[in-house]
A and B are shown apart, each in its own frame.
Chain A
Amino acid sequence: MKLRTLVWRELFERKSQMLTCFLAILLGITTVVAIKNVTHYSEMAVAREMDSLGANVLVLPKSATLQDYYSADMQEDTIPEEYVMRLTMSDIQGVDNLSPKLCVPVDLEGKQFALTGILPKSEFQAKAAWGGAGIFSRPIGCGAIDTGVDSKPEDKSTLVRKRVIKDLGSHEILVGPDVATFLDLKEGDSLTLLGEPFSVVAVLPETGTIDDSRIFAHLHTVQRLSGKGAVVNCIEIVGCCEEISAGLVGNVNKLLPDAKVVTVRQVVATQQNVNHMMGRLSVIFLAIIVIVGGAGIANYMYANVFERRREIGTLMALGAESGLVLRIFLLKAALLGLVGGIGGFVIGTTLAVTLGPKLAGVPVLPMPMLALWAVGISAGITLVASYFPARRAARLDPVATFQEV
């Protein structure tokens, strides 16, 4: 006879009660695990979608305003291109993407367009990697994790979404749809700009923004042709919204004291709102499970103590101390919690992986970390909910074993 024999045998003595209590724990944990799992991947999907909202932090010259940026950053003032390297070589957390830009007006067939110089990511990323440090030496993507699903191969048109292009030749251009329509351009055509020929490598999709009237070329080519030297009008930063809250803007300001660092508040607020809503939804479900599940378990345990008071009294008459009685009930609670947690994790994960993609429209993968979380929550709820009934059992008057007092 061991303590676990006593607990194990009793569990199966009152099967229907035990099963009811166990099912309550199992279903509760299953629900929370499934919701957390689907929510996690939905958040990641939303985070990826949020990239399309564009940059959320801008580095501008001191004199420039946000209005200048939205009117195609044609302001005269510039900042050194060297700021890009400072940023990439820094250890600032939360920078997902960088895009330095220099805009100069160009006249084409009587209409003015913005020739925008951009720096392909491969150039500053390679320099940072060569330096062995910097923001791109760490994984980035605002926590957007690899779902194991192949993303679409990157083409030049991703510039519109990601604000960054991986490679761009010195005489290659990407044209906005307004430019393409006006000049009747298509992929493979050539165009002369500021006296030099360029080949159109892509016509960008329509965005409804000023970008539709831009012509994108290599930054260094635009710098040379405009004669402005190694400068840019602005650096667009796609920052992770959590890090923006945690002081990303302040850190960039410290790094670049001679520039103006502004947050595009609407973008950040939208990102944060969506994430907070998802987080709150998860917390609400968890709170419901904790309250309903905990109350159910406490009720079951109180009933169990009441039914077993004669047995408890007998054990006490035979010499059981209060600590042992407490342990009998808490071990039972821990067992129910442990098995309920493991079972809830397995079923919840299975439901999330199979039904999640259909319900939420996002690929969902198992999250092993949730197993620890599920068992911890499950055992925690059962132990806390059982503590007071167990204490009542431990304090029972052994005289209750006798019918006649």
Chain B
Amino acid sequence: MLKMEEVCKSYQHRGQVVKALDGATVEIPKGDFVSIVGPSGSGKSTLLLMLGGMLSPSSGRVLLGDDSIYDLTADGRARLRKENIGFVFQTFNLVPYLTALENVQIPMFLAGMDDPSQEEKATALLERVGLGDRRDHKPTELSVGQQQRVALARMLANDPAVILADEPTGNLDPETADQVIGFFEEFNEEGRTIVMVTHDPKAAERAKNTLKLSNGKIVSNGSTRRKPRHVA
């Protein structure tokens, strides 16, 4: 379970205090699929980063299971991400000089897996996202949709219990975006918890629950009417 308790985050900007997140309290049960929506600058990404142990709150606590994430050291949080959390980025963040296969191998390399096992698992993951024939392509040799699918395969590499996605469909055409959300639904059905920041109402609707943020505050927290999974 992911939990935030009265979390605030404020920045100093030209002598002015800016509240990016203001007293956020939220509980995300295991296996949930939550979309976070709200206008730009409302604190969506701040909230996601905090859940991922990458941005410490000014006050309050963030818990993953029973662990208070920010009571851990920076390296401790890195280990926690490696073992429990998979990130998906809007701009994919693939390493440009590595092939698709090698990009997928990165989390396994970080986890200390041996080379043949890395390669075997990465190949299977690329096949799962429909890129078995693109394993030796570099990111620049792939379309944006294919790049995001490589990023999804990389995210799955260490079998994370929690998936945090920041605008995963933001750079994609509607058809590819639909395909990516379809993958998220599939991962959620496997029991993974998904938290997804999105501007896309169609994508947000596909989640089980929606958190709406405005000016750093959670203004609504409710269930979404689940639409049937898109079949191409």
Top 3 closest A-B pairs, CB basis?
A319-B82, A13-B97, A1-B105
**Quick one: given A1-B118, A399-B49, A404-B45, are A318 and B110 in contact (CB under 8 Å)?**
yes
Query: What distance in Å separates the Cβ of A318 from its nearest Cβ neighbour in chain B?
Result: 5
Cα of A405 to Cα of B46 in the assembled complex, Å: 6
Which single member of A12, A314, A323 contacts B93 (CB below 8 Å)? Answer: A314
Q: Is the CB of A318 within 8 A of B82?
A: yes
For B93, the chain A residues whose CB sits under 8 A away are: 310-311, 313-314, 317, 401
Which residues of A1-26 have CB atoms within 8 Å of chain B's CB atoms?
Answer: 1-3, 5-6, 9-10, 12-13
Cα of A404 to Cα of B38 in the assembled complex, Å: 14
- Please, what's the 1-or-0 string for B48-69, where 1 marks a CB less than 8 Å from any CB in chain A? 0100101100000000000000
**Quick one: given A318-B82, A405-B46, are A1 and B102 in contact (CB under 8 Å)?**
yes
Q: Is the CB of B105 within 8 A of A405?
A: no
Interface residues of A (CB under 8 A from B): 1-3, 5-6, 9-10, 12-13, 310-311, 313-324, 398-399, 401-405
For A2, the chain B residues whose CB sits under 8 A away are: 109, 115
Cα of A315 to Cα of B160 in the assembled complex, Å: 16
Q: Is the CB of B166 within 8 A of A320?
A: no
Q: Which of B83-91, B125-133, B174-182, B206-214 lies at the interface? A: B83-91
Q: Is the CB of A321 within 8 A of B78?
A: yes
Q: Which residue of A lies closest to B101 (CB)?
A: A1
For A324, the chain B residues whose CB sits under 8 A away are: 110
- Count residues of B near A (Cβ-Cβ below 8 Å): 36
Q: Is B108 an interface residue (CB 8 A)?
A: yes
Binding site secondary structure of chain B: helix
B40, B98, B102, most chain A CB atoms within 10 A? B98
Cα of A6 to Cα of B98 in the assembled complex, Å: 8
Q: Is the CB of A320 within 8 A of B78?
A: yes
Which residues of B99-127 have CB atoms within 8 Å of chain A's CB atoms?
Answer: 102, 105-111, 115, 118
Cα of A320 to Cα of B75 in the assembled complex, Å: 8
Q: Is B158 an interface residue (CB 8 A)?
A: yes
Which residues of B27-59 have CB atoms within 8 Å of chain A's CB atoms?
Answer: 40, 45-46, 49, 52, 54-55
Q: Which residue of B lies closest to A405 (CB)?
A: B45
For A405, the chain B residues whose CB sits under 8 A away are: 45-46, 49, 55
Cα of A317 to Cα of B154 in the assembled complex, Å: 12
Q: Which residue of B lies closest to A398 (CB)?
A: B54
Q: Is B96 an interface residue (CB 8 A)?
A: yes
Q: Is the CB of A402 within 8 A of B110?
A: no
A1, A315, A401, most chain B CB atoms within 10 A? A1
For B107, the chain A residues whose CB sits under 8 A away are: 318-319
Cα of A405 to Cα of B107 in the assembled complex, Å: 24
Q: Which residue of B lies closest to A325 (CB)?
A: B78
Q: Is the CB of A314 within 8 A of B89?
A: yes
For A13, the chain B residues whose CB sits under 8 A away are: 96-97
Q: Is B79 an interface residue (CB 8 A)?
A: yes
Interface residues of B (CB under 8 A from A): 40, 45-46, 49, 52, 54-55, 74-75, 78-79, 81-83, 87, 89-91, 93, 95-98, 102, 105-111, 115, 118, 154, 158, 166
For B154, the chain A residues whose CB sits under 8 A away are: 318
Which single member of B83, B110, B118 contacts A320 (CB below 8 Å)? Answer: B110
Q: Is the CB of A317 within 8 A of B81?
A: yes
Which single member of A310, A317, A321, A323 contacts B54 (CB below 8 Å)? Answer: A317
Query: What distance in Å separates the Cβ of A176 from its nearest Cβ neighbour in chain B?
Result: 79
Which single member of A314, A315, A322, A402 contacts B166 (CB below 8 Å)? Answer: A402
**Quick one: given A5-B102, A401-B89, A402-B166, are A317 and B52 in contact (CB under 8 Å)?**
yes
Which single member of A1, A12, A321, A401 contacts B75 (CB below 8 Å)? Answer: A321
For B105, the chain A residues whose CB sits under 8 A away are: 1
Cα of A10 to Cα of B98 in the assembled complex, Å: 8
For B106, the chain A residues whose CB sits under 8 A away are: 1, 315, 318
Cα of A349 to Cα of B82 in the assembled complex, Å: 49
For A6, the chain B residues whose CB sits under 8 A away are: 98, 109
Query: What distance in Å separates the Cβ of A240 from its nearest Cβ neighbour in chain B?
Result: 57
For A313, the chain B residues whose CB sits under 8 A away are: 93
Q: Is the CB of A319 within 8 A of B115?
A: no
Q: Can you list 22 A-B pairs with a CB-CB distance of less than 8 A?
A: A1-B98, A1-B109, A1-B115, A6-B98, A6-B109, A9-B98, A12-B97, A314-B93, A316-B54, A317-B52, A317-B87, A317-B93, A319-B110, A319-B158, A320-B82, A399-B54, A401-B93, A402-B49, A402-B166, A404-B40, A404-B45, A405-B46
Cα of A319 to Cα of B83 in the assembled complex, Å: 8
For B96, the chain A residues whose CB sits under 8 A away are: 13, 311
Q: Is the CB of B102 within 8 A of A319?
A: no
For B78, the chain A residues whose CB sits under 8 A away are: 316, 319-322
Q: Which residue of B lies closest to A323 (CB)?
A: B75
A317, A318, A404, most chain B CB atoms within 10 A? A318
Q: Is the CB of B79 within 8 A of A321?
A: yes
Query: What distance in Å separates the Cβ of B102 from its nearest Cβ neighbour in chain A?
Result: 5
